[in-house]
Amino acid sequence: MARSRMRDIAERLGISEAAVSFALNGKPGVSDELRSRVRAVAEELNWRPHAAARALADANAHAVGLVLCRDDNSTSGESFFIQFIAGLSTALESESTALVLQIVPAVAEEVQVYRRWWNERRVDAVVVLNLIRDDPRPDALAAIGCPAVLVAGPYAPPGHATVSVDDAAAMHRIVAHLVDRGHRCIGHVGGPDELDHAQLRRSSLSAEGRRAGIQTALARTDYTEQAGYRATRALLRRKRPPTAIVFDNEILALAGISAITEAGLRVPDDIAVVSWEDGPICRLSTPQITALDRSAQQLGRHTSDAVLRLLGRSGAPATSAELDPELLIRASSAVKRLTN
């Protein structure tokens, strides 16, 4: 079955192609009655506007680009990506906007991809994840004129559309839970220094610690399981080791539990464990792991709303895109400690 063309609709109705075009493009010159007949036949023949012709006609690609920067050694965050894409692509498709995807090993190559996509008019806008310290991407995108939505914390560079992720509020919720359970020294095993959100989570924990009058202990990883194991061991060897550790995702938490167990300590009796991401691992671990329910899918939907507004394709009011993740309290942090 060939793709339907305006000519097919014209032949079916015994009218000119120009009349079909006027009817389908909402132009005057055809009666309302003919317009509705043309639309009915177009529907029946499953006619769709030609994406490339439409792109040339209105100078839009009707596509949004997303580049995932992914180190081969790190499989963490995969669940986040898939769920984020699920939310993003579904909402875009409802506006007939495609999602174009590329996976690269490093940020430098990511900028090259944006440049090529934009020069080829492959995308109308891009979504940028995981901002880093002195990130080259916002400036590069501004220089080539490609609209972008940054998924970022409060430190996002001004002048770009931003979907804000309030990691500080999430950290407040976690610390309140742990302090309530009697913890007076809380550790954190997070991402590398150059990642904006890793920095923000560390500074949030420090601020929460000062406010609550408790100690904090910070460790950095490259998000690999090996680094999570080593970082946890290092925290446990401190003069005053933490009695609770917050891990940036469930893979790090699992690696941390290995390190805790091998050190002869128990979860949650000796060390409480919290994961910043929920997932099957948190539910299937023994004990089950307390986790933030971040809903990457919802974040993806918020992001697509922001993209469509930026492109003027959505009349939806600018709602706040901040997420307020719940903390799912499970056995790994459930013990109430006797504080001295």
Tell me which residues touch a copy of itself (CB under 8 A): 1-4, 46-56, 61, 63, 68, 70, 75-76, 78-79, 81-82, 85-86, 89-90, 93, 96, 98-104, 113, 115-122, 143-145, 225, 251, 254-255, 258, 261, 279-281, 283-284, 286
Instruction: Classify 168 as helix, strand or coil.
Output: helix
Instruction: Classify 313 as helix, strand or coil.
Output: coil
Nearest residue (CB) to a copy of itself, 86 versus 168:
86
CB of 101 to a copy of itself, least distance (A): 5
Count of H-run helices and E-run strands, the chain? 13, 11
The alpha carbon torsion through 88, 89, 94, 97 (nearest 10 deg) reads: 110
CB of 31 to a copy of itself, least distance (A): 27
Residue 63, token pair as written in the block: 């596509």
Nearest residue (CB) to a copy of itself, 68 versus 212:
68
CB of 334 to a copy of itself, least distance (A): 18
CA–CA distance, 261 with 256 (Å, rounded to integer): 9
8 Å CB contact between 181 and 158: no
CB of 53 to a copy of itself, least distance (A): 6
Nearest residue (CB) to a copy of itself, 313 versus 337:
313
- With residue 56 as reference, give the H or E element that holds it: helix 51-58
In 125-239, at which residue ranges do the beta strands (DSSP E only) sit? 125-128, 148-152, 161-164, 185-190, 215-220
Residue 193, token pair as written in the block: 């220094």
Nearest residue (CB) to a copy of itself, 111 versus 175:
111
Nearest residue (CB) to a copy of itself, 226 versus 320:
226
8 Å CB contact between 302 and 154: no
Nearest residue (CB) to a copy of itself, 280 versus 315:
280
Radius of gyration of the chain from its Cα atoms, rounded to whole angstroms: 25
Nearest residue (CB) to a copy of itself, 54 versus 233:
54
Question: DSSP for 106-155?
Answer: SHHHHHHHHHHHHHTT--SEEEE-S-BTT-HHHHHHHHHT--EEEEE-TT
In one-letter notation, the amino acid at residue 299 is L
CB of 134 to a copy of itself, least distance (A): 20
Nearest residue (CB) to a copy of itself, 215 versus 288:
288
Burial class (CB in 10 A: 0-12, 13-18, 19+), 273: buried
CA–CA distance, 333 with 236 (Å, rounded to integer): 17
CB of 273 to a copy of itself, least distance (A): 13
CA–CA distance, 105 with 120 (Å, rounded to integer): 22
CB of 261 to a copy of itself, least distance (A): 7
CB of 48 to a copy of itself, least distance (A): 4
Residue 218, token pair as written in the block: 């910070």
CB of 212 to a copy of itself, least distance (A): 31
CA-based nearest residue to 199, from 168, 243, 230, 160: 168
Nearest residue (CB) to a copy of itself, 16 versus 261:
261
